[in-house]
Amino acid sequence: MLKTISPLISPDLLKVLAEMGHGDEIIFADAHFPAHSLGPQTLRADGSTVSELLAAVIPLFELDSYAPPLAMMAPVEGDELDPAVEARYREALFNGQPGPEIERIDRYAFYDRARKAYAIVVTRECAKYGNIMLKKGVTPLK
């Protein structure tokens, strides 16, 4: 156990976050996401929701400020989004403060980007369109 690091962040996830460079992407995926067949390293966080992991990770992770840092899957034609899902994620990431927009991209474009992601973290999340991609930015020197 480490001080100030949430116990929701496994040693493997902590290693991945540290290894990622600026511009690398990580996906926090729902339980239905085809993570293992897409190719990048896959981590399991079956006891956590996406919101819980976002809240745990964001204090350790600088979002990209030069390119859209957040992306979620757009609904397929005829389907609807539950706005509460994005609201939960925004609250976990920004704690009620303004933050960058979440880009919505086509399902297959999301899968294509997922193939190039640094890692995919599969959670117990069951919300429809409950996957979110974070792009790592440059950590500022203090």
Catalytic site positions: 22
Does the annotation list 95 as a binding residue? no
Can you say how many angstroms the Cα of residue 65 is from the centroid of all Cα atoms in its chain? 16
Does the annotation list 118 as a binding residue? no
Does the annotation list 131 as a binding residue? yes
Round to whole Å and give the CA distance between 64 and 104: 17
Q: Which residue has the tokens 């980007």?
A: 113
For residue 21, which phi and psi values (nearest 5 degrees)?
-105, 170
DSSP 8-class letter at 82: -
Binding residues for substrate: 30, 107, 129-131
Binding residues: 30, 107, 129-131
